[in-house]
Amino acid sequence: MKPPRHIQLMASEPIALNAPSISIESESGNRSWWKDRVLDYGWGAILIGAMAMAATYPGRTHGLGMVTEPLLMDLQLATPEGRVFYASLNFWGTLIGAFFCLPVGWMFDRFDRRAILACNLILLGVTVLWMSTVQSWQALFAALILSRGLGQSALSVVSITIVAKSFEARQLGFAMAWYAVLSAPFHLLLIKGVGWALTDANLNWRVVWGSVGGALILLSILAIFLTPKTQSAKRPLATENQGSTLLEALKTPAFWVFSLTISIWGMIYAGVALFNVDIFKERGFDEKLYFNVLSLVTVVALVSKFFFGWLVNYVSLSRLLAVCLFFTAISLVSLPLATKTWHAYAYGVGFGIASGAVALLFFATWGKLYGQRELGRIQGVAQMLTVFASASGPLIFSYSKQLTTSYTLIFVLLSGLVMAMAIIAWFTPLPQPIERMS
Backbone angles phi, psi at 380, to 5 degrees: -65, -45
Could you read off the pLDDT of 116-158 as tens digits, one per residue? 999 999 999 999 999 999 999 999 999 999 999 999 889 988 9
Could you report how far apart the first and last alpha carbons of the chain are, in Å?
Answer: 33
Output the CA angle 264-384-143, nearest 5 degrees: 115
| Most confident by average pLDDT, 244-248, 256-260, 367-371, 397-401 | 256-260
More confident residue, 191 or 262: 262
Please report the pLDDT score of residue 241 as a whole number. 58
pLDDT for the residue numbered 253:
92
Nearest in space to 171 (alpha carbons), one of 46, 31, 303, 255: 46
In this prediction, residues 377-397 reach a mean pLDDT of 85
pLDDT for residue 394? 77
State how far the alpha carbon of 256 is from the alpha carbons of 87, 259, 262, in Å. 29, 5, 10
**Going from the N-terminus, what domains does the chain have, and what CATH number goes with each?**
36-228 (1.20.1250.20), 238-429 (1.20.1250.20)
For residue 215, the model assigns a pLDDT of 92
